A and B are shown apart, each in its own frame.
Chain A
Amino acid sequence: MRLVLLCVTACLAAIVSMRLDAEELPQFRLDIRDHLFYPPEFDVPAGKKFRLLVVNNDPTPEEFESYELNREKVVMDGSSVTVYIGPLAPGQYPFFGEFNPKTAQGKIIAIDNAGGAH
C-alpha cells in the first residue's frame, strides 16, 4: 500500500514538474526549409535545460538527429516537434537531418552566460 502511494506521489510530482518546466524553460526555434536548417548555428546557455522547437516547412519528413546531444526525433512534413535538451557543458554540439545528411547540418553552441530565448 505504501509503495502504491509512493508511486502515485512520484507520478503527480513528475506531472507537476513537467507543467512548471513547460512554462519556465527557454525555447529555441529551428526551421527546416529545402533540407537546410535555419539558423544553422545558434548559441544556448551552458548548464541550462531548454526546449528546441523543430519546425519542418518541407513537403518531406526529416529526422532531427545528433550523436553529441543523444537526440533523435522524426519531424513529419509540415509539422513540428519539441525536443528537450541540456543542461549542456560548454562546447559545440553538431546536429543533422538524417534523411538529408549532406545538406541538413547545423550546430548548437553552448556558452556560459548566453542570452535567453529567441
Chain B
Amino acid sequence: MLLETVVIVLREVVEAALIISILLASNLLFKESQRWVTASIFGGILMSLLQAWKLGWISQQFDGRGQEFVSVVLLMTISACLLWRIADLIMLPARAIPARFYGLPLGIAVALAISREGAEIFIYGYAYTARMDSVFNVILGCAIGAGIGISIGVLCYYLLTPLLTSLNRRWSAHVLVSMLTLITAGMAVQVVMNLMQAGVIESQLPLWNTSDLIAEASIAGQLLYALIGYEATPTPSQVECYTAVVVLVLAIAAARELIGKGSVP
C-alpha cells in the first residue's frame, strides 16, 4: 500500500514539478515576474480540490465525456500560456512591455498544471484514507511521493539556472524556448489522446512502437513523457500535432528574425 501510494503521487507531482521548475527558470530572463508564483500554487491546489470534489458530476457531462473535455480545456490553456511565454522569450530583446504582464502566462500555467495533476491525488487520498487500515500508509506515501516529486523539480531548477546564467541572454533564451516547445508539443499530443478517448476524433493505428526501447511505464519513459511528451505508440494525428507546435514556434522565431533585424541591441 505504501509503495503504491508513493508511485501514484510521485507520477502526478513530478510532471507538474518539472514544468513549474522550467517556467520558474525562465523567469531569470524577466524582471519582476515572480509575483504570481505563490498565488498560482495556492490557486492550483484549490482548483484541484474543486475538481476532485466535483469529478463525479464532471464525468457525467457531455454524454460521459466531461473528464476528457475538462482535460482538453486545461491542456489547451496551459499550451497557450506556454506559447505566450515562448513568444515573450523569442521577442525578448526587442519588446518593452510592463513587467507584470510577463508573469501572467506563467501564473496561469502553474495553477492549471497543479490543478490537472493534483485532482487525482486528492481523489485517491480521500478515498483510501477512509479505509482505517491504511490511513497512516496513505498519508506517509503521499508525503514521500510529493517530497520526491518536488525534489526532482527543485533539482531540475538548480541544474538549469547555473547553465542559463553561464550562457549569454540570447543562448539561454534558445535553451528555454526549446525546452518549453517540447513540453507544449507533448501537451498537444495529450489533447489528441483525450479527443480520441472521448470518441470525438477517430483513433488510428500507431505509426511506430518504441515500447521495447523505452517503456512508457519506466522511470525514463515517465520523465521523457513530462519533458518532451514521449509516447511509445503515437498515432499519425499525434505526430502531426507535435510537429505543428514545433513548426509554429520555428515560424515565430523566423518572423522575429525577419522583422526585428535592425532593432536588436
Contact = CB atoms under 8 A, between A and B. Distances in A.
19 contacts: A14-B201, A21-B199, A49-B202, A60-B127, A60-B131, A61-B55, A68-B233, A70-B193, A71-B193, A73-B68, A74-B67, A76-B59, A76-B123, A81-B67, A82-B199, A84-B197, A84-B198, A98-B8, A102-B4
A63 B211 CA distance: 22
A16 interface: no
Nearest to A84: B199
Contact of B4 (A22, A88, A101): A101
B203 A85 contact: yes
Interface string A66-88: 01101101111101011111111
Contacts of B64: 81-82
Contacts of B55: 61, 74, 76
Interface of B: 4, 7-8, 55-56, 59, 63-64, 67-68, 120, 123-124, 127-128, 130-131, 193, 196-206, 211, 215-217, 231-233
B123 A61 contact: yes
Interface string A3-42: 0000000000010001001100100000000000000000
Given A61-B123, A70-B231, A99-B8, A14 B200 contact: yes
A51 interface: yes
B21 to A, nearest CB: 24
Is chain A's binding surface mostly helix, strand, loop or mixed?
A: loop
Contacts, number: 81
Contact of A51 (B120, B199, B206): B199
B123 A18 contact: no
A102 to B, nearest CB: 7
Interface of A: 14, 18, 21-22, 25, 49, 51, 60-61, 63, 67-68, 70-71, 73-77, 79, 81-89, 98-102
Contact of B217 (A67, A99, A100): A67
Contacts of A21: 199
Most buried by A among B59, B199, B217: B199
**Interface-central residue, A67, A75, A83, A86, by most chain B CB under 10 Å:** A67
A21 B200 CA distance: 10
B204 to A, nearest CB: 7
A60 B128 contact: yes
Contact of B233 (A61, A70, A75, A76): A70
Which interface residue of B205, B211, B231 has the most chain A CB atoms within 10 A? B205
A45 to B, nearest CB: 14
B56 A76 contact: yes
A113 to B, nearest CB: 18
Nearest to B216: A67
B16 to A, nearest CB: 16
B59 A87 contact: no
Contacts of B198: 84
Contacts of A75: 59
